[in-house]
Amino acid sequence: MTFKRPEIIRPPSEHDSYYLPLTSGCSNNTCGFCAYSFTKLGIRDLEEVKHEIDAMYLYVNNRIIVPDQPEIVYYILRGWNGKKLFLQDGDALVYPYPKLLEALQYLNGKFPYLQRIASYATPQDILRRSVSELKTLKAQKLGILYMGVESGNDEVLEHIRKGATHDQMVEAARKVRESGMLLSVTGILGLGGVAGSEKHALETARVLTEIDPDYAGALTLTLIPGTQLYEEMENGSFQLITPFQSLQELKTMVEKSNFSNCFFSSMHASNYFAVRGRMPQDKGKMLRELDTILARRDPALLRPEFLRGL
C-alpha cells in the first residue's frame, strides 16, 4: 500500500526540527480522546525513507531539488538549521527495530552533525524494546522520547483505552532513563471528568513522581467530535470539567508531585493558564501563581476558548 505522508503533529519543543516520517498514525489507535484514534498505522518502506534522506542531503549540501519529493520536504529544509530531527508519526518507535536502527545509521552517515533525534513513543513500544536496544538507538542519537502518560489512575486509563497501566508506564520510563535517553511525558487535565477529577489529579501526580522525567507537561482535554469521550459527553455519561477545575487539577499535580530535576510546564495551547518552572526549585512560585488565579476566579485571566488549540 502506498504510504501517505502524515500531517505534522509534533511536541512544541521540536519546532526547529526536520520532520521525517517513518510511520503514519498510531499503533495504539484506541484512546478515546485522541485524533489519532481515527487513524490506521502505516509503516513506510525503508527505501523510501532513505530516498528522502538522500534528497535532504542533496538539498542541504548542493541545493539540488529532487523532482519526486513533495514540496513540504523543501519547505522544512529551507528553515532547518541541521541540528534536530523528529521522527513522525504518533509513535515512530513502533517502526520495526532493525529498520529503525538502519534508518538512524543512514541518517547519521549523511548528517554527522545532527545533535538529536526525537520520537513519540507509547509505553507499549518502549516495553517491547530491551534496555540494550534502547541504548543502541541512543548511540545513534535518538536522544529523547515523548510519552503520553495521560493519567496515573488505572480506572481512567482503562476508560480511555490507553492500553497501558500506571505501573507499565513507570516501568517503560525506567527503561528509557536506564538507556540514557531523555524522557518527556504529558498528563491531560480533565480526563477523569468531574466525577474522577480529584483522583485523576492525585494519581497523575503520583505516576509523574514515580517516573521522575526530565520534562513533564500538562495539557487540557479538548473534546474532538467523533471520539469516545465526545460521544459520552453528548449522551451525558462524561462531564467535562470547567476551566477553573482544570486549574485546580493542575495545582494538585504541581503540589503533590516530587521530582529530582524536571522542567514542568503547562504552556501548551490547550491550557487555560500557563505556568512553568524547574522542579523542585520553582514549585513554590508556580503554586503561588495558581493560588492567586484560583482565588480571583476571573475568567479574563484565562486563555480565551477561541485561542485554545489541540
Taking CB under 6 A as the criterion, the residue among 17, 20, 22, 36 binding ligand SF4 is 36
For residues 14 and 289, which CB has a smaller minimum distance to ligand SF4 in the complex?
14
- Scanning residues 134 to 163, which ones bind ligand SF4 (CB under 6 A)? 148
Which letter, b or e, does each residue of 17-50 get, where b requires 16 or more Cβ atoms within 10 Å of its Cβ? bbbbbbbbbbbbbebbbbbbbebebbbbebeebe
How many Å apart are CA 221 and CA 233, to the nearest integer?
A: 12
**Binding of ligand SF4 at residue 29 (CB under 6 A)?**
yes
The answer to whether 140 and 111 are in contact (CB under 8 A) is no
SS percent in the chain: helix, strand, coil, step 5: 45, 15, 40
How many Å apart are CA 77 and CA 64, to the nearest integer?
A: 12
Taking CB under 6 A as the criterion, the residue among 37, 197, 204, 265 binding ligand SF4 is 37
**Binding of ligand SF4 at residue 197 (CB under 6 A)?**
no
- Scanning residues 108 to 137, which ones bind ligand SF4 (CB under 6 A)? 122
* Phi, psi for 86 (deg, rounded to 5): -115, 130
How many residues lie near ligand SF4 (CB under 6 A)? 10
Q: Provide CB contacts within 8 A for 208, sequence distance 6+.
A: 149, 152, 185, 187, 216, 253, 257, 259
Cα–Cα separations (whole angstroms), residue 135 to 90, 101, 139, 140:
22, 11, 6, 9
Taking CB under 6 A as the criterion, the residue among 20, 26, 55, 247 binding ligand SF4 is 26
Q: In angstroms, what is the minimal distance from the CB of 90 to ligand SF4?
A: 4
**Binding of ligand SF4 at residue 34 (CB under 6 A)?**
yes
| Cis status of the peptide bond prior to 89, with omega within 30 of 0 | yes
**Binding of ligand SF4 at residue 23 (CB under 6 A)?**
no
For residues 36 and 111, which CB has a smaller minimum distance to ligand SF4 in the complex?
36
For residues 137 and 157, which CB has a smaller minimum distance to ligand SF4 in the complex?
157
For residues 6 and 277, which CB has a smaller minimum distance to ligand SF4 in the complex?
6
Taking CB under 6 A as the criterion, the residue among 49, 85, 86, 90 binding ligand SF4 is 90
Stretches 28-36, 59-67, 78-86, 295-303: which one binds ligand SF4 (CB under 6 A)? 28-36
Q: In angstroms, what is the minimal distance from the CB of 34 to ligand SF4?
A: 3
Q: In angstroms, what is the minimal distance from the CB of 244 to ligand SF4?
A: 25
For residues 36 and 86, which CB has a smaller minimum distance to ligand SF4 in the complex?
36
**Binding of ligand SF4 at residue 6 (CB under 6 A)?**
no
Other CB atoms within 10 Å distance of the CB of residue 252: 19
Q: In angstroms, what is the minimal distance from the CB of 291 to ligand SF4?
A: 31
- How many residues comprise the chain? 310
For residues 34 and 290, which CB has a smaller minimum distance to ligand SF4 in the complex?
34
H or E element that contains 246: helix 243-256
Q: Is 241 left (phi over 0), alpha (psi -120 to 50) or beta?
A: beta
**Binding of ligand SF4 at residue 28 (CB under 6 A)?**
yes
How many Å apart are CA 222 and CA 26, to the nearest integer?
A: 19
Cell of 10: 509534533
Q: How far apart are the first and last CA of the chain?
A: 30
For residues 31 and 207, which CB has a smaller minimum distance to ligand SF4 in the complex?
31
**Binding of ligand SF4 at residue 31 (CB under 6 A)?**
yes
Which chain residues interact with ligand SF4 by CB under 6 A? 26, 28-29, 31, 34, 36-37, 90, 122, 148
